[in-house]
Amino acid sequence: MTQDTNALREELESETIRICQELIRIPSVNFGEGRGDEKAAAEYVVAELARVGIASTIYESAPNRCNVIAHLGSTHPERPGLVVHGHLDVVPAMAEDWSVDPFGGILKDGFIWGRGAVDMKNMDAMILAVVCQWARVGYKPPRPITLAFFADEEAGSSFGSRWMVAEHPDVFKGCTEAISEVGGFSITLPNAKRFYFVETAEKGIHWMRLVAKGRAGHGSVINEENAITRLAEAVSKIGNYEWPQRYTATVKRLFETVAKASGKPYDLKDLRPLLSEFGSASRMIGATLQNTANPSMLSAGYKENVIPGEAVAVVDGRFLPGYEDEMNKTIQDIVGPDIKVETIVSDIALEVPFEGDLVDAMCAALIKHDGDGIPVPFTMSGGTDNKALSKIGIIGYGFSPLKLDPELDFMALFHGVDERVPVDGLRFGVNVLKDFLENS
């Protein structure tokens, strides 16, 4: 590696760290129900790009709900474009629960700490560091790239990617593929073999409101039409329901590869015994073997001695590709005819093949920087803005690479207390991302 190459690499890594810290210090919190503010973060992105001569535009879907779009030239403008996207919003953080300031962006113990460090200002920083370095040295990527920094991903994307696709689809004209968050990170098996999980599938979302009606009355008398009792019984049944195992093509390929690498049996009748190979990621991977529905909110009553006439619960439903109807029918069967099921947010599941030139470029970049790495496809138990882009024909993957310590419970950091990203992981990730984008 030449001295110039060394200097560029060090610059790229230090810029990634700086930008990640500075983005974390901007509290772009999304409280849900339309209450969020990405404006300052969007303006920061615009300013960083402008420093190196990259023009960008803010699209404001509602007051302070801001999306940023920029277009990069290429050496082959006739090729289909790639969308490289991140989201600027973060979930709330209760400062009293944290050991550090959640919006301090401090460096401590080899990590950058703060809300958004993992989800997903780390990837936002890597994207900005790469494209800004390109601009400084006069480099053009081999295909057109559209940069998108979305609002509102943490609350259903109504003010972000879904709004952009509905109101400004022209900004993605010519783009056929996309990459974003939650993919390219490492998981180390008990036998020390290191897998890199590239996200090729996502569970769909159905957030439901359960409404139970009953007979209001005095709390001292017998009431066989108590709305709270009806709702509580339904919520308990949903929370305790054992969903059947359903294995998609992505799941089968992942588990078959893990079985071969670990020497464990691969039995399509029940893949759950292999979950122990995934360590701290086993809960997330386990959720991709079946539909899930978790009660998450309850609301009823207004006085101790008054039985209310209505009780409401919220259920977070996630369905596998191809199993939306099964989940919805199961929920309705569980709650019965007396409880109304209303949709709060609904979005599709995704599944794309782990093959093709783009996937080959991802795998090559990972292996270049970690010769022992084994890239594999996986299903994400949550969802990303790739869902919105899919509605205009753009095929999306999760690829925000990070090399992680085997002992780090990475999945617990998403939305977790003391969220943090390893600095060495970021250094690895930005170099992988740069190589991938320069060879995709």
Q: What pLDDT digit, counting tens, does each position of 238-276 carry?
A: 999 999 999 999 999 999 999 999 999 999 999 999 999
> How many domains does the chain fold into?
2
CATH of the domain at 237: 3.30.70.360
Residue 198 has pLDDT above 60, yes or no: yes
Which residues span the domain enclosing 96?
3-191+349-438
Residue 375 has pLDDT above 90, yes or no: yes
The DSSP bridge partners found for residue 68 are 58, 149
Query: Do 281 and 407 sit in the same domain of this protein?
Result: no
Q: Confidence class of residue 16 from pLDDT cuts 50, 70 and 90? A: very high
The DSSP bridge partners found for residue 58 are 68
Query: Do 176 and 234 sit in the same domain of this protein?
Result: no
Which distant-in-sequence residues (6+ apart) come within 8 Å of 266 by Cβ? Answer: 255, 256, 259, 260, 274
Average pLDDT (72-96) is 97
> Which of 319, 347, 375 is the last residue in one of the domains?
347
Residue 411 has pLDDT above 90, yes or no: no
- pLDDT in the model for residue 28: 97
Residue 193 has pLDDT above 60, yes or no: yes
Q: Is residue 197 part of a domain?
A: no
Closest CA to 440 of 362, 374, 352, 367: 362
Query: Do 390 and 307 sit in the same domain of this protein?
Result: no
β-pair type (107-108, 204-213): unpaired
- pLDDT in the model for residue 412: 87
Q: Is residue 196 part of a domain?
A: no
Residue 133 has pLDDT above 90, yes or no: yes
Average pLDDT (367-376) is 96
Q: Confidence class of residue 33 from pLDDT cuts 50, 70 and 90? A: confident
The secondary element (H helix, E strand) that includes residue 355 is none
Query: Do 43 and 162 sit in the same domain of this protein?
Result: yes
Angle separating helix axes 423-438 and 357-369, nearest 10 degrees: 140
Q: Is residue 324 part of a domain?
A: yes
Q: Is residue 354 part of a domain?
A: yes
Closest CA to 168 of 396, 388, 397: 388
Query: Do 129 and 43 sit in the same domain of this protein?
Result: yes
Q: Is residue 228 part of a domain?
A: yes
Task: Assign 416 to helix, strand or coil.
Answer: coil
pLDDT in tens, 267-303: 999 999 999 999 888 999 999 999 999 999 999 999 9
Query: Do 43 and 187 sit in the same domain of this protein?
Result: yes
Residue 101 has pLDDT above 90, yes or no: yes
Query: Do 300 and 367 sit in the same domain of this protein?
Result: no
Which distant-in-sequence residues (6+ apart) come within 8 Å of 395 by Cβ? Answer: 176, 177, 178, 352
Count CB neighbours of 224 within 10 A. 7
- pLDDT in the model for residue 279: 87
Query: Do 397 and 412 sit in the same domain of this protein?
Result: yes
Query: Do 69 and 44 sit in the same domain of this protein?
Result: yes
Average pLDDT (415-438) is 97
Q: Is residue 421 part of a domain?
A: yes
pTM of the predicted protein model: 0.92
Give the helix, strand, coil percentages of the chain, each rounded to 5: 40, 25, 35
CATH of the domain at 21: 3.40.630.10
Do 139 and 419 form a contact (C-beta atoms < 8 A)?
no
d(CA 153, CA 414): 14
Residue 2 has pLDDT above 70, yes or no: no
Closest CA to 328 of 338, 343, 339: 343
> Which of 280, 315, 347 is the last residue in one of the domains?
347
SS (H, E, C) 184-219: CEEEECCCCCEEEEEEEEECEEEEEEEEEECCCEEC
Average pLDDT (91-100) is 96
Residue 155 has pLDDT above 80, yes or no: yes
Query: Do 391 and 318 sit in the same domain of this protein?
Result: no
> Which of 293, 317, 347 is the last residue in one of the domains?
347
Q: Is residue 149 part of a domain?
A: yes
Closest CA to 114 of 40, 27, 32: 27
d(CA 120, CA 127): 11
- pLDDT in the model for residue 3: 58
% of the chain residues with pLDDT over 70 = 99
Query: Do 343 and 355 sit in the same domain of this protein?
Result: no
Q: Average per-residue pLDDT in the chain?
A: 95
Query: Do 69 and 10 sit in the same domain of this protein?
Result: yes
Count CB neighbours of 169 within 10 A. 13
Q: Is residue 274 part of a domain?
A: yes
Residue 107 has pLDDT above 70, yes or no: yes
Q: Confidence class of residue 200 from pLDDT cuts 50, 70 and 90? A: very high
Residue 1 has pLDDT above 60, yes or no: no
- pLDDT in the model for residue 382: 86
